[in-house]
C-alpha cells in the first residue's frame, strides 16, 4: 500500500508558532528549511549564536503552555516573521534585528508564567535549526498513532500538539517505531530514522487555547508503557517533498 504525505509543518521560532507548507526542499545533513531557525533564550540560559544548545536553555511550551496557541508565518525573502495568538495582537518583526527584540519581548511576556525565567534574547546558529536533538532532525509523524492516542484518551486531539514536521498515515499505530535504523524515502528526499521522540508537557496544552486540557503523557504511559510519539530522522539525501508524495521504507 502506498502511503502519502498529508501535512508539512515548520516552526520558524522554536516553541513560538507553526506554519503549514505545501512543499519543502530538504538538504542533506540539515534541518528543514525555516524550521527552528531561531530560539528564545531565557535570562538563565547559557545559549548563544555559536553552537546548538539543549531545550532547557529556551522559553518553550513545556513550561509556558500559552505559547502552544501561536501561529506563525515566515517570509522567506524578507526574513520577517508574523506571530498570531488568540489573546495578543498580531506581531510582525525581524528576529535577526536587535531593534525589534523589545517589541517581541513585550508581545510574548503576557504568555509566560510569572514564576519562570523571563525571555531575554533570540539566538540563531548559522547552518542549523535549534531542534531538540544534537543532530539536525526532522520529526516524522504517523496519523494512526495519533488516532490511537485519541481513542485511549477518549476525545479528539489536535495533531498540532506534537509539533511534527511531516505527517502521513501508516494505517497501524506505532509502525514508525519499527523504522529505527532504517532509511525512508519521502518524495525525493531520503531520511535515516534515528530515535523515537520522548514527549514533554507541551503536548498537554491545547494548540487553539494554550490551556492544559489533556494528559497525553499519562495516556501514553498507561496504555503503551512509554511517553514516545513520532520519530526523529536525519536527511541523508536532499530533494523536494510535496503534499501527496509517496512515503516508503527502503
pLDDT per residue over 135-162, tens digit each? 999 999 999 999 999 999 999 999 999 9
What integer pLDDT is reported at residue 1 of this predicted model? Answer: 64
**Looking at the predicted structure, is the pLDDT value of residue 112 above 90?**
yes
What pLDDT is stored for residue 115 in this prediction?
86
Band (pLDDT 50/70/90 cuts) for residue 116 is confident
Q: Can you give the pLDDT at residue 239?
A: 98
Q: Is 216 exposed, middle or buried (0-12, 13-18, 19+ CB in 10 A)?
A: buried
Q: CA-CA distances (angstroms) from residue 26 to 16, 32, 81, 242? A: 22, 6, 21, 11
Q: Is the pLDDT of residue 103 over 70?
A: yes
Condensed to tens digits (0 to 9), the pLDDT of residues 170-183 reads 999 999 999 999 99
- Indicate if the pLDDT at residue 85 is higher than 70: yes
What is the domain partition of the chain in residue ranges? 3-30+133-249, 39-123
What is the per-residue DSSP string for 64-113? -GGGGG-EEEE-TTT--EEEEETTEEEEEE-TT-GGGHHHHHHHHGGGS-
Q: What is the mean pLDDT of residues 93-119?
A: 96
**SS3 (DSSP) at 231:** strand
Is a pLDDT exceeding 80 seen at residue 243? Answer: yes
Q: How far apart are CA 98 and CA 154, in angstroms?
A: 46
Tens digit of each residue's pLDDT (9 = 90 or more) over 10-57: 999 999 999 999 999 999 999 999 999 999 999 999 999 999 999 999
Residue 2 banded pLDDT, cuts 50, 70, 90: confident
pLDDT at 205: 96
- Four-residue CA torsion sign, 84, 200, 182, 170: negative
The C-alpha cell at 63 is 513550561
Q: Give the mean pLDDT of the chain.
A: 96
- Look up the CATH superfamily of 3-30+133-249: PK beta-barrel domain-like (2.40.33.20)
Amino acid at each position: 500500500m502506498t502511503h502519502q504525505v498529508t501535512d508539512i509543518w515548520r516552526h520558524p521560532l522554536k516553541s513560538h508558532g507553526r506554519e503549514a507548507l505545501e512543499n519543502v526542499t530538504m538538504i542533506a545533513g540539515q534541518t528543514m528549511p525555516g524550521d527552528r531557525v531561531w530560539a528564545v533564550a531565557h535570562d538563565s540560559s547559557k545559549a548563544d549564536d555559536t553552537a546548538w544548545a539543549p531545550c532547557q536553555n529556551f522559553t518553550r511550551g513545556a513550561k509556558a503552555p500559552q505559547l502552544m496557541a501561536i501561529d506563525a508565518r515566515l517570509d522567506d525573502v524578507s526574513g520577517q516573521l508574523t506571530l498570531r495568538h488568540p489573546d495578543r495582537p498580531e506581531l510582525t518583526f525581524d528576529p535577526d534585528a536587535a531593534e525589534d527584540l523589545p517589541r517581541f519581548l513585550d508581545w510574548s511576556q503576557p504568555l509566560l508564567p510569572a514564576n519562570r525565567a523571563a525571555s531575554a534574547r533570540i539566538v540563531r546558529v548559522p547552518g542549523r535549526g535549534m531542534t531538540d536533538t544534537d543532530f539536525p532532525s526532522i520529526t516524522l509523524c504517523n496519523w494512526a498513532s495519533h488516532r490511537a492516542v485519541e481513542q485511549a484518551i477518549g476525545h479528539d486531539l489536535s495533531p498540532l500538539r506534537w509539533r511534527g514536521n511531516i505527517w502521513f498515515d501508516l494505517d497501524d499505530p506505532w509502525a514508525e517505531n519499527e523504522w529505527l535504523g532504517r532509511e525512508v524515502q519521502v518524495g525525493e528526499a531520503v531520511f535515516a530514522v534515528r530515535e523515537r521522540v520522548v514527549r514533554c508537557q507541551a503536548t498537554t496544552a491545547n494548540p487553539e487555547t494554550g490551556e492544559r486540557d489533556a494528559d497525553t503523557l499519562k495516556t501514553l504511559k498507561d496504555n503503551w508503557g512509554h511517553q514516545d510519539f513520532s520519530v526523529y530522522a536525519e536527511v541523508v539525501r536532499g530533494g523536494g517533498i510535496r503534499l501527496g508524495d509517496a512515503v516508503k521504507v527502503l
